[in-house]
Chains A and B, each alone.
Chain A
């Protein structure tokens, strides 16, 4: 069983301190929701966990299955089994979706020999499940994709790359109701394989489809409250102000 342990993590961008000692543990087979108002540092936490070079860790540690990730390159974290579905995935002009995904797959699973035919079959199967047309195979990565298509592609990457711990950053934004259902189904199917999830979200919407066992509220770069899913329901009704008052 995998384990992501975040201990007393602090980080900044340039001179701006954004995380002030965050501690949180995600085990395989658990779903955690990270909620919080705008600007609380939710996306920052995702970037810091993935090793985005613009963010400097100023203290604390992040361990995946006991191995320290702080100081490691993003690719090393990916190969260790960490995955971040970006809130706003960037377009990479001219890089074919299939080429990118297969290169990534070969890096993350160097010992698995999948023929290109098998790989295509697998890709097509999951594209259907997340609602991406087959023709996207030869499109450039995220180039000209709608917001929803980008999100579907993030989930496609997740199921193909088979990470142990998944961070979903606002995965529901840009998805309409039907699309959200498809994506949620794919996530749940994948969750059943003992994967740990950290779902970053501002709203409670997605948590109706994928119910978390743990909810953490991030305010001003700190965990301000933790508990079960009842917190998210209360936030749905009352917003975040009541937490600040605690």
Chain B
């Protein structure tokens, strides 16, 4: 009981600290001119230019050009949300904010430092993190790793730095789990990627504090194309977190990332992301994990902002007893479209997967669950459980579920559960009759709906998510 009470106390304190922060505190934009930009549009020259600025090895340059060809040959997908608003011609694909890259916040240019301070990043790093990377537009501007982990051989820096410092290590993993041919947006990333993190945890090293990368997109009509690689070597343990925000503009921006996670034998990796892009961002990342024998992969995602998000973190269960879990919260606010879900592919015996997807639609917000479950022949005794719950706040809100199952192994067992609910008058009235305002009551019901996922994420991120949900709810006022 004492533990329980302490948790409440800490929660209240965190909420108090965060109380005065408003959505506008994320949506501010800095008056920073990039020191270098490739300008608008994407051609072979743009790609050559990015590679040259970065003084990359030739293998990377060739991979970029190959990816560009794939990108140009693939049509824009039309099976999901409307993507016709992406202005390919007028997007600038590479913007470098500053020449420097540092491991000391004091050396980060003042205005950029202020931005990250406003977002609370240095403070969070100090309190909760084993290491952190901060990316501003196209480039990482800061990275730091506590010495204790550095001494144990952990590598944590932006991917560009890693290519310079550990080219062979990077080459072993780069675009192995997510080949650029995977989809149009992965190909785009392959061509123009910049920034992202590289995290390598050596055999047997278990990091108890999370490591975080924070992405900030500042420019209007720009693209952010980071590529992140996390390698949890045999028997290791790691928790990696990503947070992202952007100012709101009239012209849309594009975020198209690749995240590759390699969980080796007996290792355990957790990837948490809280995305709060502004409502002028198309968010189209490709995220995938390779999970080896007896390894565990956990995806935890909060997709709160953006105009359109298409995201289906995938787990390839490659070795016996590999397991994956996927907890996802999607909040579809007014005028936004969340097409999210998860994929679990079982290639080996005794593999297991669990997917819990919760969506909340507000006003005309649209939330879709799209999932794939595949069990190959020979993946004997594979197990999978999928649960999708949707909560509709208004009469105009909508939600759809598209599960797709391909089961080729007769000994596999799997289950699907889906529910759709509305915030009920009875629940609202009950809470209000005790003195809670309509806003408080409805956000309490929403958070209650999310509770089984919230319980599994670190408290400071649960609080952050909690606050964002409340913000979003109060912005629309009345429910029903």
Interface residues of A (CB under 8 A from B): 50-54, 73-75, 77-79, 83-84, 86, 89-90, 92-95, 98-100, 102-105, 107-108, 116-117, 120, 134-135, 137-138, 140, 157, 161
Verify B437–A75 contact, CB threshold 8 A.
yes
Assuming the A-B contacts A53-B425, A137-B4, are A79 and B448 also in contact, with contact meaning beta carbons closer than 8 angstroms in the complex? no
Taking the nearest CB of chain B, how far is it from the CB of A184, in angstroms? 22
In the complex, the answer to whether A104 meets B436 with C-beta atoms within 8 Å is yes
Q: List 13 A-B contacts (CB under 8 A).
A: A53-B425, A75-B436, A78-B434, A78-B435, A94-B447, A94-B448, A95-B451, A104-B436, A107-B435, A117-B5, A120-B8, A134-B1, A161-B434
Known A-B contacts A54-B425, A93-B451; A103 and B440 likewise in contact (beta carbons under 8 Å): yes
Nearest A residue (CB) for B433: A74
Closest A residue to B446 by beta carbon equals A94
Nearest Cβ on chain B to A139's Cβ, whole angstroms: 11
Q: Mark B252-266, 1 if CB is under 8 A from A, else 0.
A: 000000000000000
Given A75-B437, A93-B451, A98 and B8 contact (CB-CB distance below 8 Å): yes
Beyond A75-B432, A90-B426, A120-B8: 13 further Cβ-contacts under 8 Å? A75-B436, A94-B452, A95-B444, A100-B444, A103-B444, A104-B431, A104-B436, A107-B435, A107-B436, A107-B437, A108-B434, A108-B435, A117-B9
Q: Closest residue to B5 on the A side, CB-wise?
A: A120
B427 within 8 A of A: yes
**Binary interface profile of B, 432-472, with partner A (CB < 8 Å = 1, else 0)?**
11111110110011011111100000000000000000000
Binding site for A on B (CB under 8 A): 1, 4-5, 8-9, 12, 424-427, 429-438, 440-441, 444-445, 447-452
For the complex of A and B, the 9 pairs showing the least CB-CB separation, nearest first, are: A94-B448, A94-B451, A107-B435, A95-B448, A104-B434, A78-B435, A74-B432, A108-B435, A74-B433
**A92 engages B448 (CB within 8 Å):** yes
Are A103 and B436 neighbours in the complex by a CB distance under 8 Å?
yes
Q: Are A90 and B427 in contact (CB under 8 A)?
A: yes
Given A104-B435, A107-B435, A137-B4, residue A86 in contact with residue B448 (CB < 8 A): no
Q: Are B5 and A74 in touch, CB under 8 angstroms?
A: no
Smallest Cβ-Cβ distance to B449: which chain A residue: A94
Residues of B with C-beta under 8 A to A78? 432-435
A76–B220 CA distance with the chains assembled, in angstroms: 45
Residues of A contacting B429 in the complex (Cβ-Cβ under 8 angstroms): 50, 52-53, 74
In this complex, what residue of A is CB-closest to B429? Answer: A52
Majority SS at the chain A contact face: helix
A79 CB contacts on chain B under 8 angstroms: 435
Rounded to whole Å, the gap between the CB of B225 and the closest CB of chain A is 37
User: Contacts A84-B433, A116-B9: A92 and B438 contacting too (C-beta < 8 A)?
Assistant: no
Count chain A CB atoms within 10 A of each CB in B425, B432, B437 and give the residue with the most. B432
Residues of chain A contacted by B432 (CB below 8 angstroms): 73-75, 78
Instruction: Give chain B residues whose Cβ lies under 8 Å from the Cβ of A92.
Output: 427, 430-431, 444-445, 448
Beta-carbon nearest neighbor of B480 in chain A: A53
Q: What CA separation (Å) do A203 and B1 show in the bound complex?
A: 39
A132 to chain B: closest CB distance in Å? 14
Q: Given the complex, which residues of A lie within 8 Å of B1, measured CB to CB?
A: 134-135, 137
CB distance from B363 to the nearest CB of A (A): 20
Question: Are A90 and B448 touching (Cβ within 8 A)?
Answer: no
Whose C-beta in chain A lies nearest to the C-beta of B421?
Answer: A93
* A-side contacts of B433, CB under 8 Å: 50-51, 74-75, 77-78, 83-84, 86
Closest Cβ–Cβ distance, residue A242 to chain B (whole Å): 35
Q: How far is the CB of B430 from chain A (nearest CB, A)?
A: 5
Neighbouring A residues of B438 by C-beta, 8 Å: 73, 75
With a CB–CB cut-off of 8 A, which chain B residues contact A116?
5, 8-9, 12
Complex CA gap A100/B426 in Å reads: 16
B425, B435, B436, B450: residue with the most chain A Cβ atoms closer than 10 Å: B435
Give chain B residues whose Cβ lies under 8 Å from the Cβ of A102: 8
Report the Cα distance A100→B103, complex, angstroms: 43
B447 proximity list for chain A (CB < 8 A): 94-95
- How distant is the Cα of A235 from the Cα of B8 in the complex, in angstroms? 49
Q: How far is the CB of B411 from chain A (nearest CB, A)?
A: 35
Q: Given A75-B437, A137-B4, A138-B4, are A89 and B448 also a contact pair (CB < 8 Å)?
A: no
- The reply to whether A90 and B430 form a contact with Cβ atoms under 8 Å apart is yes
Judging by beta carbons under 8 Å apart, are A93 and B436 in contact?
no
Assembly CA distance A105 to B435 (angstroms)? 8
Assess the B8–A89 pair: CB atoms within 8 A: no
Q: Please name all residues of chain B whose beta carbon is closer than 8 Å to the beta carbon of A83 when the two chains form the complex.
A: 433
Complex: chain A residue closest to B13, CB-CB: A116
Q: With CB as the reference atom, state the residue of chain B lying closest to A78.
A: B435
Write the nearest CB–CB distance from B352 to chain A, whole angstroms: 25
> By the criterion CB–CB under 8 Å, are B8 and A140 in contact?
no
Q: Which residues of A contact B4 (CB under 8 A)?
A: 98, 137-138
CB proximity of A7 to chain B, nearest CB, Å: 22
Measured in the bound complex, the distance between the Cα atoms of B1 and A89 in whole Å is: 25
- Residues of chain B within 8 A (CB-CB) of A98 are 4, 8
Among B430, B431, B441, B448, which residue has its beta carbon within 8 angstroms of that of A93? Answer: B448
Q: Which residues of A contact B434 (CB under 8 A)?
A: 75, 78, 100, 104, 107-108, 157, 161
Q: Which of A79, A107, A108, A135 has the most CB of B within 10 A?
A: A107
A94 to B445 Cα, complex, angstroms: 8
Considering the complex, give the chain B residue whose CB is closest to the CB of A84. Answer: B433
B297–chain A nearest beta-carbon distance, Å: 26
Most chain B CB atoms below 10 A, which of A78, A94, A107: A94
CB of A122, distance to nearest CB on chain B (Å): 13
Instruction: Enumerate chain A residues within 8 angstroms of B431, measured Cβ to Cβ.
Output: 92, 95, 100, 104
Beta-carbon nearest neighbor of A86 in chain B: B430
Contact A161 B435 (CB under 8 A): yes
Shortest beta-carbon distance from B120 to chain A in Å? 23
Residues in chain A near residue B426, CB distance under 8 A = 90
- What A residues does B425 contact at CB under 8 A? 53-54
Question: When chains A and B are docked, how far (Å) is the Cα of A74 from the Cα of B432?
Answer: 6
For B448, the closest partner residue in chain A by CB is A94
B-chain residues with CB within 8 Å of residue A73 when the two chains form the complex: 432, 437-438
Q: Bound state CA distance, A77 and B12, in angstroms?
A: 26
Q: B444 — which chain A residues lie within 8 A by C-beta?
A: 92, 95, 99-100, 103
- In whole angstroms, what is the CA distance A216 to B441 when docked? 34
The interface residues of chain A lying within 8 Å CB-to-CB of B448 are 92-95, 140
Enumerate chain B residues within 8 angstroms of A75, measured Cβ to Cβ. 432-438, 441
Query: Closest Cβ of chain B: how far from A113's Cβ, in Å?
Result: 12
B residues near A108, Cβ cutoff 8 Å: 434-435
B211 CB → nearest A CB, Å: 29
